[in-house]
């Protein structure tokens, strides 16, 4: 018999609760007493010297019940107030997601409220996908914290991972009480994340849809959006974009800047749900106190181990951010270089004053000649698998690979640089410019940049998809494409290869059967790839 979704959800909840709760309790045996009835947590905490925790129901927007947990600093007796941090859960995660970090923050003198976003697990309502109801819920949780805990109304922070990050940024646009935000593996532009290059990110959207259906209650609106998106329903494209813009913090940049919250953004180079470009673009447009951190990994993996209470640089910097902007601690975080990058190749940190300062030079690779591709067949060059591939790169430094000499030239256009005598530190956003001619009015191409060693094996540096519609068949047109930003070190003696093909399992493709794409380099408009490097 196939288990029901409810049974699966209960099983996952039980396992997650056991793992996370064990981590929290093992970190401080005294917190076992925090599970006592709510009438005694303060006394228990005072006796044990540990923060108290209680599980509560909070009424969200429209009276929807949100399941939450509240950590209160040890010794809180009602005679003083503490900074408060509100943590909405990630997509599909149970309310205990942040308990290990919440306890650490409470140890440092914070009231911390973690709550399950509406539509997931035991919280009520349907999934709003960071819509107006989710934003209103965040303010309701702040209201509750100020009324039912020793929280200081002048020192309110929000943060979270993924879905919780996006909700926190959106809430900062609509609630002036929020003074600091830590958004980890979140998004600034939802459309630019899962529809970059006008291409549906099929695996990413499918992952979100499947996990949402397993652990939550998708709304009719969300089901319709997912159906139209995955089916590449162009008749609904304007509606899809409007839906995504409504849920994008970038749409409300003026409000976020006017409210003045201090914003820290932390993401991964290989984030296959929310690629780094849109995060960097959003960061550049913030005018208040801000910080940007990029590390190797995929979606939520850079900070993931910290959720189990393990040492984690992202969470360490998150606490420092809150300490300075909520508690006034002179810890130097405001004087450090605000852009912090960790190389995928060396693991070394680099600090910059702005995102624009990251590259110091450009290496051009000429895309000479004319190359024609047959479509609908995978050449063997691809971006890997959602979540898995960039995790392998993060932990084992094994990005997706391809044998560049063996790529079939009828399916993949290939250009290579000369061998570099010195190492090349690729830093920032690689840009492609070319002229494209198609035998059909619609089509898709995917551009890749590979680090190629002496044996011709290419390691993926970066890539990005590009889709066009409504073009005149057999009429050339210009293409400009930003590949996903990265920090990768190409060893001396290696070369860079640019590969373009028409099929990648990560994305929907729009090439009609039998269509052909031709890439050319007119004399009056040469084609090239510009690679940003740090000399």
Q: Is residue 6 pLDDT above 80, yes or no? A: no
Taking alpha carbons only, the member of 450, 382, 462, 373 closest to residue 417 is: 450
Q: Which residues contact 321 (CB under 8 A, 6 or more apart)?
A: 180, 182, 262, 264, 291, 333
- Give mean pLDDT, residues 455-469: 98
Q: Which residues contact 23 (CB under 8 A, 6 or more apart)?
A: 99, 100, 308, 309
What does the alpha-carbon distance between residue 231 and residue 209 come to, in Å, rounded to a whole number? 13
Residues of the chain by 3-state class (helix, strand, coil), percent to 5: 35, 30, 40
Q: Is residue 12 pLDDT above 70, yes or no? A: no
Q: Is residue 253 pLDDT above 80, yes or no? A: yes
Angle, helices 5-27/99-107, rounded to nearest 10 degrees: 30
User: Predicted confidence band at 406 (pLDDT cuts at 50, 70, 90)?
Assistant: very high
Q: Is residue 532 pLDDT above 50, yes or no? A: yes
- Give mean pLDDT, residues 58-74: 97
Percent of the chain with pLDDT over 70: 91
Give the distance, in angstroms, between the CA of residue 139 and the centroid of all CA atoms in the same chain: 23
Q: Is residue 41 pLDDT above 80, yes or no? A: no
Q: Is residue 3 pLDDT above 70, yes or no? A: no
- Give mean pLDDT, residues 292-315: 97
Q: Is residue 142 pLDDT above 80, yes or no? A: yes
Q: Is residue 301 pLDDT above 50, yes or no? A: yes
| Per-residue pLDDT, 48 | 54
- Give mean pLDDT, residues 48-69: 94
User: Predicted confidence band at 49 (pLDDT cuts at 50, 70, 90)?
Assistant: confident
Q: Is residue 38 pLDDT above 70, yes or no? A: no
Burial class (CB in 10 A: 0-12, 13-18, 19+), 518: middle
Q: Is residue 175 pLDDT above 50, yes or no? A: yes
Are 225 and 232 spatial neighbours (Cβ–Cβ below 8 Å)? no
Q: Is residue 19 pLDDT above 80, yes or no? A: no
What does the alpha-carbon distance between residue 218 and residue 200 come to, in Å, rounded to a whole number? 20
Residue 88 tokens read as 């909405």
Start-end of H helices in 149-183? 163-174
Q: Is residue 271 pLDDT above 80, yes or no? A: yes
What does the alpha-carbon distance between residue 336 and residue 359 come to, in Å, rounded to a whole number? 19
Q: Is residue 26 pLDDT above 80, yes or no? A: no
C-alpha R_g of the chain: 24
- Give mean pLDDT, residues 291-308: 97
Instruction: Decide which of 311 and 7 is more confident.
Output: 311
Q: Which residues contact 521 (CB under 8 A, 6 or more apart)?
A: 366, 367, 368, 369, 370, 434, 435, 527
What does the alpha-carbon distance between residue 286 and residue 330 come to, in Å, rounded to a whole number? 23
Q: Is residue 281 pLDDT above 50, yes or no? A: yes
Start-end of H helices in 149-295? 163-174, 190-194, 202-215, 220-230, 237-246, 253-259, 276-285
HEC string for 177-201: CEEEEEEECCCCCHHHHHCHHHCCC
Q: Is residue 5 pLDDT above 70, yes or no? A: no
First vs last Cα of the chain: how many Å apart?
61
HEC string for 325-361: HHHCCCCCCCCCCCEEEECCCCCCEEEECCHHHCCCE
Are 472 and 440 spatial neighbours (Cβ–Cβ below 8 Å)? no
């Amino acid at each position: 018999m196939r288990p029901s979704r409810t049974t699966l959800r209960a099983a996952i909840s039980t396992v997650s609760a056991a793992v996370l709760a064990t981590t929290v309790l093992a970190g401080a045996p005294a917190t076992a007493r925090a599970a006592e009835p709510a009438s005694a947590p303060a006394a228990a905490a005072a006796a044990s010297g540990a923060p108290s925790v209680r599980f509560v129901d909070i009424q969200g927007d429209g009276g929807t019940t949100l399941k939450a947990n509240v950590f209160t600093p040890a010794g809180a007796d009602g005679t003083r107030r503490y900074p408060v941090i509100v943590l909405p859960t990630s997509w599909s995660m149970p309310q205990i997601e942040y308990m290990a970090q919440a306890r650490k923050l409470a140890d440092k003198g914070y009231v911390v409220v973690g709550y399950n976003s509406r539509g997931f697990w035991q919280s009520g309502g349907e999934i709003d996908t960071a819509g107006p109801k989710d934003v209103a819920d965040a303010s309701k949780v702040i209201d509750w914290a100020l009324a039912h805990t020793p929280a200081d109304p002048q020192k309110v922070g929000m943060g979270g991972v993924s879905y919780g990050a996006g909700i926190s940024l959106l809430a900062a646009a609509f609630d002036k009480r929020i003074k600091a935000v830590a958004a980890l593996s979140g998004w600034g532009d939802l459309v630019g994340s899962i529809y970059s290059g006008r291409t549906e990110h099929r695996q990413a959207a499918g992952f979100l849809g499947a996990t949402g259906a397993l652990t939550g209650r998708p709304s009719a609106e969300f089901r319709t959006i997912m159906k139209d998106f995955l089916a590449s329903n162009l008749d609904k494209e304007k509606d899809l974009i409007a839906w995504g813009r409504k849920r994008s913090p970038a749409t409300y940049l003026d409000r976020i800047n006017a409210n003045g919250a201090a914003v820290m953004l932390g993401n991964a180079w290989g984030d296959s749900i929310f690629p780094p470009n849109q995060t960097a673009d959003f960061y550049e447009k913030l005018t208040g106190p801000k910080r940007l951190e990029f590390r190797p990994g995929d979606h939520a993996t850079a900070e993931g181990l910290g959720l189990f209470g393990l040492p984690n640089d992202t969470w360490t910097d998150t606490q420092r951010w809150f300490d300075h902007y909520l508690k006034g601690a002179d810890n130097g975080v405001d004087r450090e270089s605000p852009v912090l990058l960790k190389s995928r190749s060396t693991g070394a940190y680099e600090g910059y004053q702005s995102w624009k300062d990251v590259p110091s030079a450009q290496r051009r690779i000429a895309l000479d000649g004319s190359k024609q591709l047959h479509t609908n067949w995978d050449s063997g060059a691809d971006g890997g698998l959602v979540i898995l591939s960039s995790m392998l790169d993060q932990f084992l430094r094994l990005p997706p690979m391809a044998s560049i000499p063996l790529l079939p030239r009828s399916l993949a256009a290939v250009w290579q640089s000369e061998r570099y005598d010195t190492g090349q530190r690729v830093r920032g956003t690689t840009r492609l410019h070319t002229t494209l001619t198609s035998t059909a009015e619609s089509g898709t191409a995917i551009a890749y940049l590979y680090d190629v060693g002496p044996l011709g094996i290419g390691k993926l540096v970066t890539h990005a998809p590009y889709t066009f519609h409504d073009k005149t068949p057999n009429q050339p047109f210009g293409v400009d494409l930003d590949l996903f930003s990265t920090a990768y070190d190409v060893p001396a003696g290696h070369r860079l290869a640019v590969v373009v093909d028409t099929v990648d399992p990560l994305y929907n493709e729009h090439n009609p059967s039998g269509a052909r794409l031709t890439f050319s380099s007119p004399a009056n408009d040469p084609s090239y790839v510009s690679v940003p490097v740090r000399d």
